[in-house]
Structure 1
């Protein structure tokens, strides 16, 4: 037998549904389209027939004695590389939530079928599976190189040596696209490992009690740069991020005033950004600090709005001047009704409370058009500008 006469390998597909008629329907259509189909109507059989070589898994979300979320958890725990197809008679928002859950756990989702569905819809999903990449067996997966994991000593040395520096990301007027200000972001430039992401050292600093030192260093460097810009005739306005851990220090407002004075930076040119999750603690003491910051003419921004646990009462009582809509909702606002509703309601709420609204994470013109039409005053995102070192940042009039 020549190699030309060897029949092509049929992509294997496993179907799990408690309705046997549905299993047979999905299996028959798959077989006609060149797939090797197997079905089962209970988890025990599914666990026995599950294989790392499966191209696709059709999963019913609602079955007596078990549910699809448990199966998603099983597949994620086993690091399945199969492409998942969700099937259910649940409302579309439930199916979409299950899709997001699967994707957040590292699974690949090829599609979703709302019951009852026909041959056309099913065939379209099989077409996707036909061109999808076959899963790679764990034995041949190359192990990714370990990322650099800094420790307390390394971070302390980086702060001593000036390797943790401020970068600046521009904030733009939504209507004119003119730069109005910049958010200051901490960046660690390691002499051997290059750029060390903030996800690898901010939590380390918070956990090891180094966050005050890190924040003080970055703020002082940023304001020193602002002083240079002001001497050059520019009018920089910057936003500084504070860790939630710092909102328990009653001396914070006076300390920030002193730092601003050291670098000849008017407080009204500085906005303090506080994540929404920071408001989940003792709001009375936080309100003390926030009120005194505003009395000292600092702006106050509630960052990542929609992702935390603050109550509307906290938002209304806090002396905020700005609300930043989290980029996770902006990213999905054009494709998911729920995300769009959150963006719209956040903008409306901010305006009703007299706050300026900023949209984060703008990466496409379509997103830009959406937030402009909704009334966001300012935007940030890679569409207009990525974060950069001070030497690469250009203010209007420079």
Structure 2
């Protein structure tokens, strides 16, 4: 292990001479032979301009240019160095800076509170070595890997389908709507994850074609349900890329009119990360959709970087709280506090709250206590194909209510 570490070059950036010397000694004890040091961000950038450095230890509190500014500069310069972030501040702050660095595209191999320990440093350097080996290895073909051509053919052959997951009132478990979820069963590769083929569609300019096809399928099913007297809402996900399409709103209105769908019974879901792109363009499209009577949901809230100010700019009607905030909140006090504050925020913004990814009775009880409006998840019902959904509405829903009454 030492021999592998000895091949690394490390830059220690800290305004404290004592701390710099201490970190360098730790590196030397582990066998690092190529060592640099800097007292602030400006000095560090000069070192990086003149030398190839594998790993940078960055103290957050420094004069002239602090650690946060240095991290941003490293990202902007697209330097290949990996970073270890250090501070005497609280771990939550350090972790937040680590998240920021990763969002900027940097490889973060550790975020630690001072003082830096020898075994922690060793693990981080070994992680860098392992990650470097993995990234250098040629990627093996995945049996389930699909190409843009295969997706294009699937669209042409109408091979993609939709499953629908119920959205229920937290109080009383009444059916209020369903979310349409794309499904693709490849003839030889089996089920392809939506995360794979939707990203593929976005990367290869097929997202509009995919959206048009799937929404038309969703509207066909909703029209069919209406003929049975079922008027529950339909939720449908829109890609952030679609929000830049100037013709999208007019097309959606035409589709709703052609299929006899009331806009007030349709909710378009967009992820909070969509707010980080072309905000003006996104809000323009969302505002027009609201003016036409459609509902707007901010999806996966809690996984990105949206804040209350950004949410207040968006003409949303609904906030979907991600599973990561919901699951295990009953046994994690800090998480429960964050969940409760998120629910309060949504209520103050006059947004309907929907908790997704509900998987346990404990999750459900917490959401009930917090006054969340709607729930969605495997604890109540998995995504179902249309015929299965109708059968569930007829019998499964009443059985679910009876089960809850006896708990």
TM class by shorter chain equals: 0.5 to 0.7
Check if 1:125 corresponds to 2:120.
yes
Asked if 1:163 corresponds to 2:159, the answer is yes
Q: Flag structure 1 segments of 5+ consecutive residues without an equivalent.
A: 1-6
Matched, 1:351 2:310: no
Alignment of 1:1-398 (within 5 A): 11=5, 14=10, 16=12, 17-28=14-25, 35-36=30-31, 39-42=35-38, 43=44, 58-63=57-62, 67-69=66-68, 70=70, 74=74, 77=78, 79=80, 84-89=83-88, 94-104=93-103, 105=105, 107-114=107-114, 117=115, 122=117, 125-126=120-121, 129=124, 134-135=129-130, 138=133, 141-145=136-140, 148-150=146-148, 157-174=153-170, 181-191=177-187, 195=192, 196-202=196-202, 204=204, 207=205, 211=208, 213-226=209-222, 237-242=233-238, 243-244=242-243, 245=245, 249-250=249-250, 252-253=252-253, 255-260=255-260, 270-274=266-270, 277=274, 280-281=280-281, 287=287, 289-293=289-293, 299-304=295-300, 314-315=313-314, 318=315, 321-325=317-321, 344-361=340-357, 371-380=367-376, 387=383, 389-390=385-386, 395-396=392-393, 397-398=395-396
- Distance (Å, rounded) in 2 between the aligned partners of 1:353 and 1:271: 18
Q: Hey, what's the Cα distance between the residues in 2 that align with 1:185 and 1:358?
A: 16
Q: Distance in 2 between matches of 1:86 and 1:332?
A: 29
Contact 2:109–2:124 (Cα < 8 Å) also in 1: no
- 1:357 Cα deviation after fit: 0.3
Q: Distance in 1 between matches of 2:318 and 2:386?
A: 24
Say which SS state the counterpart of residue 100 (structure 1) adopts: helix
Task: Please state whether the residue corresponding to 1:197 is helix, strand or coil.
Answer: helix
Query: 2:167 touches 2:374 (CA, 8 Å); kept in 1?
Result: yes
Structure 1 contact 359–376 (Cα < 8 Å) conserved: yes
Instruction: Give me the TM-score of the superposition, normalised by structure 1.
Output: 0.65
Aligned equivalents of 1:366, 1:25: Cα separation in 2: 47
Q: Using the alignment, how far apart are the partners of 2:271 and 2:178 within structure 1?
A: 17
* Residue range with higher mean Cα deviation, 59-68 or 323-332: 323-332
- Shift in Å, 1:288: 5.0
List per-residue Cα deviations over 1:370-391 (Å, max 9, x = no partner): 6554432223456766656446
Confirm or deny: 8 A CA contact 1:184 1:241 kept in the other structure.
yes
Secondary structure of 2:269's match?
strand
- Single out whichever of 270-279 and 97-106 deviates more from structure 2: 270-279
Give the conservation status (yes or no) of the 8 Å contact 2:263–2:293.
no
Alignment root-mean-square deviation, CA: 5.0
Per-residue CA deviations over 1:90-125 (Å, capped at 9, x if unaligned) read 5656523321133443524334124xx4xxx73573
Distance across 1 between alignment mates of 2:66 and 2:333:
24
SS of aligned partner of 2:392: coil
Task: Measure, in 2, the Cα distance between the counterparts of 1:367 and 1:78.
Answer: 43
Q: Which has the higher helix share?
A: 2
Question: SS in structure 1 opposite 2:214?
Answer: helix
Q: Runs of 5+ in structure 2 lacking a partner?
A: 39-43, 397-407
Deviation (angstroms), 1:137: 5.1
Checking the alignment, whether the CA contact within 8 Å between 1:170 and 1:181 is kept in structure 2 is yes
